[in-house]
Structure 1
Amino acid sequence: MKKSSWLLLAALLLVCSCAQRIKMQVSNPGYQTDSVTAPVRVLSLNDTVPAEAVLIGTLKIGDNGFSKSGNLDTTLRLAREHAAKAGGNLVKITWHKAPSTFGSSCHRIRANIYRLDSSVPVETSVMFDSVHYRNGESVLHFFRKAPLGAWVGYNVKVNDSVVTRARNNWAEEIVIPATGEITLSATTESTSSLILNLQPGYHYYIRCGMKYGALVGRPKLEIVEPSVAKAEIEAIQQTAPDPDTDTEP
């Protein structure tokens, strides 16, 4: 066999070894579509499926014996993509097995696929939508509600560019290209920074807080679980912001 043929075979084996095994059964094919037009929400094991949801199929994502790319983000992305192809817009995880030292290196899940009217509210702890995924975008949700240093505002940067200004009783949503690893930072008398790996379709919630400092206080940026963040943002939205309290550090 020629060297080029060996290289092609090796490449094909590598691609196959990195793919997870996916099995989907569609019990209601009337919803199937070739295009993704609506967000696909994911319900965790502890979340409740709304009574209005229509079950249209089941999904299993496992290990093909050689998988190396089965982190949770990848597994959930695959679940959303296949659910969308079946015409679903809601995935309910019914079983989840995490990687283990002497077992599979992949996250494995079983899930039900549902179709739900978009007007029905859904309480979910995972935030992803197929619209932003299709557009290659990530969504950053910034918010702040803290009495400490309430009069101090500060700029928030993505890498070297200012994208917003944090202030008290404030929440803002920013859509940016999903470019992979970025650095968020903020500076007053000191600098706080964190690294995010932006993936298409994902929502990230960043609490912009303050810590005690020698003069005006120190910024604190932290990633917050979506359900916690949404509760804080709802509380913020009930309080009218006062831009006059924002001062330069």
Structure 2
Amino acid sequence: MKKFELFFLSMTALLLTSCAPKVVTDMYTSEFDALSPDSVRVFLMNEKVPEQTLAIGTVKVVDGGLAAKGSFEQVLDLAVKATAQNGGNGLVITEHRMPDTRSTIHRIWGTMLRMPETESDTSVVKGSLDRALAQPADNQYMQTYQSPYEEIKKRNENAPRNILRFSVGPSWMTSNFQVGNKIYESKCGVDVEVDYDHVWVSGFGIGVNYLHNYTSFEEGFAQRLNYIGPSLVLALPSDKWRWDMAMGFGYCSYSESVGKVSVSESHIAPLMRIGLEYKVSKQIALGAQMNMITVKLDKPDDVVLKENEFYGIRRIGLQVGMRYYF
């Protein structure tokens, strides 16, 4: 035989093998001899198995790795043969996945059984196989794979589309700040935040965020920060709980005052928010959230910064409040 023909036949055999569904077994025991596939009785997940039945292992028939073709009848036949080969005379189908975006074939999972010989009558076995093959695609033991995106979309179908938040709580300045001759490495202030989000079924959405911060110092010095801007939102709800996060850039007005003297400047600043809320009624929820804002200020000429140091304000806040769904 020519080398080309040998190579062609080898590749053909390899492709045929790769395209076939893959049978995987996990045996609990190997004490039973192989049986004929005709002696294997098939049970659906909701069917009762006979008493004195022993589970001897599990079997699954899945995609072999390429675009294999396998009908439900074909993959069930492979599972039945694997059961018989390992000494089982019963097979319980525990899961059946239809062809989907992950695979072009039917896939099944099952438990292999060893039943009393009296439960393997030929007519009973044939009837059980016919019932299994006649099951509609929406039977309870059949499941269709859902991607994470589809699962998120399903959870968001009944979730609120519009959310209005009123939150208040403490915030801490994490950047160094000098007042007179004293350098504050941290200083607690008060945050008041109002947010509006519109979320689509996909879980993504857009929002508008307003944040006001007030911080006072022992020297009679006061610091105020007002932020407003749009944001991108991601929400993950459940029946009662709802987790969300938002990221945005907006207009920030910063001011410092001592007595009646004050100075202010405006910048574009980033704001990040992460929140968790609990639904107490159809339209009302209670929630907690954390926010972080960083404002880069105009540096005076006489200020010298270290490497990787910036001149400005960085704050982290923790707030609680009410949410209104509509």
TM-score (norm 2): 0.36
Q: Point out which structure has higher relative CO (alpha carbons under 8 A, 6+ apart).
A: 1
Considering only CA atoms, is the larger Rg found in Structure 1 or Structure 2? 2
